Amino acid sequence: MPRTRSTLAFCLLGLVLMPWQAAAEVHTETVADGLEHPWAMAFLPDGHVLVTERSGDLLRIDPENGERAAIEGVPAVDARNQGGLLDIQLHPDFAANRQVYLTWSGACGAGNATHLGRGRLAGDRLRDFETLFVATPCVDSTKHFGSRIVFDGDGHLFMTVGERGERDRSQDIGDHNGSVLRLLPDGGIPADNPFVDRDDAEAAIYSYGHRNPQGAVLHPDTGALWIHEHGPRGGDEINLPEPGANFGWPKTTYGKEYWGPEIGPDQLEGTVQPIHYWVPSIAPSGMDFYTGDRFPEWRGDLFIGALALTHLARLEMDGTEVVRETQLLDDRGWRIRDVRTGPDGYLYVLTDAANGRVVRVAPGE
């Protein structure tokens, strides 16, 4: 049974009022700098990392010495405001098929939309690149593209899409925007998607009522999809998407209008409650469970970048309950856009800036 906002309001009140822990000491090392608003990264089997820049470039970087090369064959992007070249993921069978998946804001119709595509990495070129899916309708907007990609273990691809700054789209199941989409790796629609038999709905939609989800990851033990999404002024959320479920935006939110008044009630029957939320907003982006072996004290913890409050959040979990939250790197002033566990067991973050960085992170001595 879906978790409703009304049934979980009381227990979450304790979470949101739980004080953050004091910042912990960590060691950082800049792997590469001079990046133009880097947005996402994916590690290749040889240890190199592919990094997207919002301006439209894809780079291959050697974490050992910072050497980089531009990857050719990427799609043209509409790089304005929050748009551009966004997420990147390798196909689960990358070692055999060399397929790299990208999301980007691309021009279409009278505006633009979140696009999904893939190409085959050969040397420093994406060959045979093809657009697989476009989240329609196209909208005349330069914000809230969502855009994270996650492969599950059952042959599906999840893609998050923001509501493009037009909040009522989130409640319209005839509109891809403001949703988590569930696709096949070729961009097709799974036959068991929740709305596949409804004439009034887009068959790709898995869950809806989302604002702007910019973090997504599979839980390493349960295989469940976890996402987070930006609230307005307060009300950032961590959610566990469920098939056909309504996560409430904008009918219900813990956030307020930027100019002050309430948008909706904190709880609303028939919508799904977040497992955790932030007031004030941290502006979350990027999300990963630490799965490395180098730092046992971090294993299983959830790490999330914060753009507005400029830190790396470490969330220690008991199942789906946050039992402790610590702010790391809060003395750096970095807008952290992405976070991933590297194949070497270190944690890596991207800083969102005109002179952005790839940074290796480890616990302090």
Model confidence pLDDT, tens digit, residues 121-161 = 999 999 999 999 999 999 999 999 999 999 998 999 999 99
pTM across the whole model? 0.94
CB neighbours (10 Å) of residue 42? Answer: 20
Residue 90 tokens, joined: 């390798």
Among 77-81, 209-213, 220-224, 359-363, which stretch is predicted with the lowest mean pLDDT?
359-363
Determine the Cα–Cα distance for residues 200 and 288; give it in Å rounded to an integer.
35
Q: How many residues does the chain have?
A: 365
Residue 327 pLDDT greater than 70, yes or no: yes
pLDDT one-digit tens code per residue, 180-193: 999 999 999 999 99
Give pLDDT, residue 89: 98
Q: Is 91 in the active site?
A: no
Q: Of 115, 144, 230, 276, which one is the catalytic site residue?
A: 144
For residue 299, the 8-state DSSP code is T
Determine the Cα–Cα distance for residues 189 and 196; give it in Å rounded to an integer.
8
For residue 296, the 8-state DSSP code is G
- In contact, 226 and 219? CB cutoff 8 Å: yes
**Which residue ranges form the domains of the chain, and what is each CATH number?**
5-363 (2.120.10.30)
Average pLDDT, the chain: 93
- In contact, 119 and 100? CB cutoff 8 Å: yes
Determine the Cα–Cα distance for residues 207 and 284; give it in Å rounded to an integer.
20
E strands, 240-328, in order:
276-278, 284-289, 302-306, 311-318, 321-328
For residue 8, name the pLDDT band (cuts at 50, 70, 90). Answer: very low
Give pLDDT, residue 24: 60
In the block, residue with structure tokens 């596949």 = 196
